[in-house]
């Protein structure tokens, strides 16, 4: 089997660290792994599965001997360095938002729209973390019942704002419990935004407010636009994104309306047999997904599946996934593995 020279850009970050673990533990066939980050991390050692990786500084020369690069160092880094990598013949799988809505860049969750990988031109975009777990959970329901409308509220973990987001929750929680003043420097993770404490709080803003769609944030519009791009249809979607004091793992309360009437047993059966999805739904034993249960897992967990009280064609469900994994690192590596399987890499 062919082996690839892999680069991870942003390897020291919350996502990048999981990318290194996923490349190794999910058996991406690598010949070498080059870990890249900013000059601040140059020389730092990353340990994984008994191996040590010395972090190198990302420069324009970083891609001379690379076949596949997983990018996760922010949109501005992808904007500058992905084209350089592509010009060296590197296939780039980009976890940032920068290329997601570009017309010539496929946006892919393998179990949802792997066919779109066929028209890539060197760049494949990994969707937003909240989008991935939603489209993955709903895929088979859409195939059978034809989803027309989605109303979703998210409960997003602080690690969605990277290492700094997790640190902020940790520091603020300690400060509150020790009766110390609470400082807010990171959330709601949006450049130039006013900051609020997240410890013992919820913040109904993720990213900046969108200048075009009045009242909605950019994070909310990512879920709308990216879902339509991957489902290839103009589905109606209404999103509210909220940051909650959870370290890791996004949760979503999702309501769907479908063209065809929904049979609950069929819906549960579809969810139980969807690729990458696990049905955790036994209310008689209080079994349902929660973010603390599945940290580090690549799976999307679904529970609280119930029909609408009044409509035959509507269903509610609760969807949880470790967004650093399924919503970012694992999906990126899974894209690479799928490309190998499809002879596209």
Number of residues located near ligand NAP, criterion CB under 6 A = 29
Report the distance separating Cα 103 and Cα 94, nearest Å.
15
Contacts with 144 (C-beta within 8 Å, 6 or more apart), sequence order: 260, 266, 270
| Residues 19-38, interacting with ligand NAP (CB under 6 A) | 37-38
Question: Distances in Å between the alpha carbon of 22 and those of 33, 159, 274?
Answer: 12, 17, 21
Considering 22, 92, 129, 158, which one is annotated as catalytic? 129
Contact 254, 280 (CB under 8 A): no
Residue 327 binds to ligand NAP (criterion: CB under 6 A): yes
Q: How far is the CB of 300 from ligand NAP (least distance, A)?
A: 14
Cβ-based nearer residue to ligand NAP, 96 or 136: 96
Q: How far is the CB of 117 from ligand NAP (least distance, A)?
A: 19
Kind plus residue range of the DSSP H or E element containing 272 = helix 264-272
Residue span 158-187 as binding mask against ligand NAP, x where in contact by CB under 6 A, dash where not: -xx-xxx-----------------------
Residue 305 binds to ligand NAP (criterion: CB under 6 A): no
Residue 14 binds to ligand NAP (criterion: CB under 6 A): yes
Report the distance separating Cα 187 and Cα 196, nearest Å.
6
- Region of 45-53, 70-78, 105-113, 211-219 interacting with ligand NAP (CB under 6 A): 70-78
Contact 106, 315 (CB under 8 A): no
Q: How far is the CB of 312 from ligand NAP (least distance, A)?
A: 36
Q: How far is the CB of 264 from ligand NAP (least distance, A)?
A: 32
Residue 58 binds to ligand NAP (criterion: CB under 6 A): yes
Contact 101, 221 (CB under 8 A): no
| Residues 208-237, interacting with ligand NAP (CB under 6 A) | none
Cβ-based nearer residue to ligand NAP, 96 or 172: 96
Backbone angles phi, psi at 54, to 5 degrees: -90, 125
Contact 335, 110 (CB under 8 A): yes
Characterize 281-319 residue by residue with b for buried, 16 or more Cβ atoms within 10 angstroms of its Cβ, and e for exposed: beeeeeebbebeebeebbbbbbbebbbeeeeebbbebbb
- Region of 113-121, 157-165, 229-237, 304-312 interacting with ligand NAP (CB under 6 A): 157-165
Cβ-based nearer residue to ligand NAP, 156 or 274: 156
* From 4, 7, 12, 199, residue interacting with ligand NAP (rule: CB under 6 A): 12
Cβ-based nearer residue to ligand NAP, 14 or 141: 14
Report the distance separating Cα 116 and Cα 119, nearest Å.
6
Q: How far is the CB of 51 from ligand NAP (least distance, A)?
A: 18
Residue 324 binds to ligand NAP (criterion: CB under 6 A): yes
Strand spans (E) along 23-64: 30-37, 45-48, 51-54, 56-57
Cβ-based nearer residue to ligand NAP, 165 or 303: 165
Residue 135 binds to ligand NAP (criterion: CB under 6 A): no
- 250 is known as an active-site residue: yes
- 102 is known as an active-site residue: no
Instruction: State the CB neighbour count (10 A cutoff) for residue 48.
Output: 16
Report the distance separating Cα 254 and Cα 256, nearest Å.
7
Contacts within 8 Å (CB) and 24+ apart, 169-175: 169/198, 169/199, 169/245, 169/247, 170/247, 172/197, 172/198, 172/199, 173/199, 173/200, 173/245, 175/199
Q: How far is the CB of 184 from ligand NAP (least distance, A)?
A: 17
- Region of 26-34, 155-163, 252-260, 276-284 interacting with ligand NAP (CB under 6 A): 155-163
Query: What residues are labeled active site?
Result: 129, 250
Q: Under the rule (CB under 6 A), what is the footprint of ligand NAP?
A: 10-16, 37-38, 40-41, 58, 72-75, 77, 95-96, 129, 159-160, 162-164, 323-324, 327-328
């Amino acid at each position: 089997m062919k082996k690839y020279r892999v680069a991870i850009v942003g390897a020291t970050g919350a996502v990048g660290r999981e990318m290194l673990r996923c490349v190794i533990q999910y058996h991406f066939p690598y010949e070498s792994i080059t870990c890249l980050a900013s000059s601040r991390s140059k020389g730092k050692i990353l340990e994984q599965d008994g191996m040590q990786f010395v972090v190198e500084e990302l420069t324009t020369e970083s891609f001379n001997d690379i076949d596949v690069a997983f990018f996760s160092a922010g949109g501005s880094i992808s904007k500058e360095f992905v084209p350089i990598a592509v010009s060296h013949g590197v296939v780039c799988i980009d976890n940032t938002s920068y290329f997601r809505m570009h017309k010539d860049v496929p946006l892919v969750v393998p179990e949802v729209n792997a066919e779109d990988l066929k028209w890539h031109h060197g760049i494949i975009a990994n969707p937003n973390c909240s989008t991935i777990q939603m489209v993955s959970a709903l895929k088979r329901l859409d195939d059978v019942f034809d989803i027309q409308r989605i109303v979703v509220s998210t409960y997003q973990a602080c690690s969605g704002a990277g290492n700094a987001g997790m640190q902020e929750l940790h520091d603020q929680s300690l400060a509150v419990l020790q009766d110390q003043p609470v400082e807010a420097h990171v959330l709601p993770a949006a450049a130039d935004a006013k900051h609020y404490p997240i410890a013992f709080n919820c913040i109904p803003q993720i990213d900046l407010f969108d200048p075009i769609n009045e009242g909605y944030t950019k994070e909310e519009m990512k879920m709308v636009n990216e879902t339509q791009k991957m489902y290839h249809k103009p589905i109606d979607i209404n999103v509210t994104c909220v940051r909650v004091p959870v370290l890791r793992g996004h949760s979503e309360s999702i309501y769907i309306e479908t063209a065809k009437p929904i049979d609950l047993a069929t819906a549960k059966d579809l969810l139980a047999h969807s690729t990458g999805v696990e049905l955790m739904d036994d209310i008689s034993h209080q079994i349902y997904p929660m973010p603390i249960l599945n940290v580090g897992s690549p799976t999307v967990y679904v529970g609280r599946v119930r029909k609408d009280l009044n409509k035959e064609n509507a269903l509610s469900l609760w969807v949880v996934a470790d967004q650093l994994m399924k919503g970012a690192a694992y999906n990126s590596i899974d894209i690479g593995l799928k490309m190998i399987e499809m002879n596209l890499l």
